[in-house]
Amino acid sequence: MLVLTPDTSGSLTALDLLAHTVRRVAASPAELVNAPPSDIVIVDGQRDLAQAKALCAILRSTGNAAPVFVALTEGGLAAVSHEWGIADVVLTTAGPAELDARIRLALGRAAPEEETTVISTSGLVIDEASYAARVQGRPLDLTFKEFELLRFLAANPTRVFTREQLLSEVWGYDYYGGSRTVDVHVRRLRAKLGDMEQLIGTVRNVGYRFNASDGEMTDAATK
């Protein structure tokens, strides 16, 4: 975490009570040239609002990707607007718990969106982002566990899973129901798949597998 401040001896002392590594450098354009990379930048604006705004503009112009905070006294809040291009403001009187919460939220907003997977195979399309599944273009009305079971099997085509493995992977280790739960869900899935019920195959005395057609399994990553 980088703090740009006129007082490098100890501005925003609440930061020192957190687990973050804090580097304080003088609040000047020259210092930004050699400033180390950081996941958060805090501009100390409690003494000079004009300088703080100018530093925020420089950070934007240099392509800084880290969220920028401005630390202000309560009287300085009226001067801040969207033109500053900052992620958040924080009062210099804020305690460590508030600072930490604001930092976590800013980092969460700045994090890249996780890629979601669309599984398309043998006439079946499963969209993990929307928890939707279609077979030959027909939407499937699935419960959450039915969706998870179908998604897991389709993501591992031709591999055979025992009932115990499916319970562990789909229901979790803390599930105390019997393996018959898997049989019930497979039966319901096959009924909903209709003419495509053969996609879920039974391996006698072992378990179940997804019967994907050869060469048809593809994973497409979309935002």
Residues 144, 152: Cα–Cα separation, whole Å: 12
Residues 6+ apart with CB under 8 A from 51: 27, 45
Residues 69, 56: Cα–Cα separation, whole Å: 9
Residues 179, 164: Cα–Cα separation, whole Å: 6
Confidence of residue 51 (pLDDT cuts 50, 70, 90): very high
CB atoms under 10 Å from CB of 135, counted, come to 20
> 94, 196 in Cβ contact below 8 A?
no
Q: pLDDT (tens digit, 9 = 90+) per residue, 123-163? A: 999 998 888 999 999 999 999 999 999 999 999 988 999 99
Q: pLDDT (tens digit, 9 = 90+) per residue, 4-27? A: 998 877 677 888 888 888 888 888
| Average of per-residue pLDDT across 53-73 | 89
| 35 has pLDDT over 90 | no
Scanning 66-216, the segments in alpha helix (DSSP H) are 96-110, 144-155, 163-166, 180-193
pLDDT at 115 (0 to 100): 61
pLDDT at 222 (0 to 100): 34
Q: What is the CATH topology of the domain spanning 143-210? A: Arc Repressor Mutant, subunit A (1.10.10)
Residues 93, 74: Cα–Cα separation, whole Å: 9
* Per-domain boundaries in the chain: 2-110, 143-210
Residues 154, 216: Cα–Cα separation, whole Å: 11
Structural class in CATH, domain 2-110: alpha beta
203's enclosing H/E stretch is strand 200-203
Residues 6+ apart with CB under 8 A from 186: 149, 200, 202, 208
Between 50 and 173, where is the model more confident?
50
